[in-house]
Structures are given as structure tokens and as C-alpha cells.
Structure 1
Amino acid sequence: MPLDDRRSIGFLISDVARMMRAAFDRRVQRIGLTRSQWLVLSLLYRRPGVSQSELAEMLEVERPTAGRMIDRLERKNWVVRRPDAADRRVKRLFLTPEAEDVQAEMGRIAETLLEDAMASLAPGERLALTDMLGRVKGSLTAMAPA
């Protein structure tokens, strides 16, 4: 495959991801979410009870930055900090029931967005695209350092 074709595929994947994030941002704006907030809520939904340090690592931000994000979400009553049972210096993060409702709405928005974005693809094409991207992701995962 010529180098230009590989660059084109990489550009398309990057551009589609960027456009999906921007479209999602526009759709969740009505419920008062910023991109960083929806990322935090999504991570805490998938990993309830992570520490602030672990969250910062997952978000690839500094701990003080993660702390400020959590402060804002706490003020919205979407996140609570609880002391770790084994180490009181560590705070564990959990979604509140209000945030779980927001997370459910985010899920509905994401599902609709994906349906809208893939509307021009036949069901078989959707499955093929998902399979191919999964294999590319697997190759990249295998290349990552341990």
C-alpha cells in the first residue's frame, strides 16, 4: 500500500474521531456537560471507586487538574469523594444518583449519535467496519510496551 494511502486512513480515523467528539459535545451541552466532565463521568461509571490519582492517570492529566475537575463535579452533586477503608489519605470517587441519570442520558445521546453517523452504512458494512477497526486496535495494542 502506498504511503499516501496509509496517511489518508490515519487522517480519516483521526478526523472521524474528532468530529464524533465535537458532535457529542454539542449534543450533551444542553445537559450542562463539558468534554472533560463527560470523560470523568464515563470513567467513573466504568470504574467506580477509583482514586483521584488513578483518575488523573486515566485522563492523562496532572493530579491537581483532576482535583479541580472533581471539585466542579462535586459542586454539581454528580461526584462524591469517600475515604479509602485502608488508607484515609486516599479518596475514592463515586457517581451520585443524579450523575447516574446524567450518565444514562449520555448513553442515549451517544447511541443516537452513532446511529446518525452510521446511517449511510448497511448492517453488514457496520459489522465489517467494527471488525476491521477492532483488528487494527488489536495490532496496536500488541505493539504497545508492556
Structure 2
Amino acid sequence: MEKERAENIGKYISFIYRKGGGFISRGLSDIGLGFGQLMFLLELYRADGKSQEDLCELLNIDKGTTARAIKKLEEESFVIRFKDEHDKRAYNIYLTEKAKELKPSVFKVLDNWNEIITQGFEESEKELTLELLKRICRNASSK
């Protein structure tokens, strides 16, 4: 019975991820931003100037995927890379004015998705859901 419950949790998380990815991709396509680049952009919105290595570690994503996402963001003029002053092998990634100007549009799409998936929830249910999902992520990260 326990195994069946765990599989169901994964099934629903996967479903939400796929549906959310489609919704967010459609919402961001007009501004030239893909779902695969979104998490990198969000990290830079939190703190601009992070290194590619920092982004890899923070997002738990391999170097190749990170490099491709940063390259795409750079091609679409969302970010610019500069060599690190202290480590000439490393690059720091900075938001462009375009990315800064589009921040409200990016967050509007994310807010709309959150409204859709929590429709009919009481505020306390939203808070509990968020806390439980954070715990699930911590558990997943520990393995």
C-alpha cells in the first residue's frame, strides 16, 4: 500500500509539471523565453551576477544543460556573461535591461499558473500545500 501511495504522488507531481510547463511556455513564448530557461532567469532575478557554477549547484542541474540554457538566454538578450575577475575560467551572468523590464510579465505568467492550480483553495490550504511541497523537495534532495 505504501508503494502505491508514493507512485501516486509522483504521478500527480509529474502531471502538474507537464501541464505547468505547457501553460508557462505558451505564456512566455511571446517574449522569446522558453520553459527550460525560466528557472535560470528566476535565480538571476533573486540575485544577479551569479556564476554558471553557482547556477548549476543551486538548481541541481548539470553543466552542459546550464551552459545551453545560458547560451539561449544570451542569444535572446536576457543575459550577458562576463569573465569573473578572480577566476578567469569562470563567467558571471548578469541580467540585461530587457530581462529586467520583462520581469513583471514573467511573474504574471507564474502568478496566473498559481491561481489556476490553487483555484478554490483557502489561504491556509495554499500555505499548507506549499509547505508540504517544500518538504517533498527537501526529502528528494537528500537522496
Superposition TM-score, scaled by structure 1 size: 0.77
The alignment's C-alpha RMSD in Å is 2.6
Deviations 1:32-60 (A, max 9, x none): 21122223212222342222344345462
- CA change 1:29–1:122 in 2 (3 A) is same
2:107 corresponds to which residue? Answer: 107
Q: Shift in Å at residue 16 of structure 1?
A: 1.5
Note if contact 1:83-1:89 (Cα within 8 Å) is conserved in structure 2. yes
1:136 corresponds to which residue? Answer: 136
Deviations 1:64-108 (A, max 9, x none): x54443333223322111222222332211001211122331111
Size of the aligned set, in residue pairs, is 142
What amino acid is aligned across from residue 62 of structure 2 in structure 1?
Answer: V
1:87 corresponds to which residue? Answer: 87
Which stretches in structure 1 are left out of the alignment for 5+ residues?
A: none
1:76 corresponds to which residue? Answer: 76
Note if contact 2:83-2:90 (Cα within 8 Å) is conserved in structure 1. yes
Note if contact 1:84-1:90 (Cα within 8 Å) is conserved in structure 2. yes
* Greater C-alpha radius of gyration: 1
* CA distance in 2 between partners of 1:54 and 1:15 (Å): 29
Greater displacement, 119-128 / 89-98: 119-128
Secondary structure of 1:29's partner?
helix
* CA distance in 1 between partners of 2:44 and 2:84 (Å): 16
- CA change 1:9–1:70 in 2 (3 A) is closer
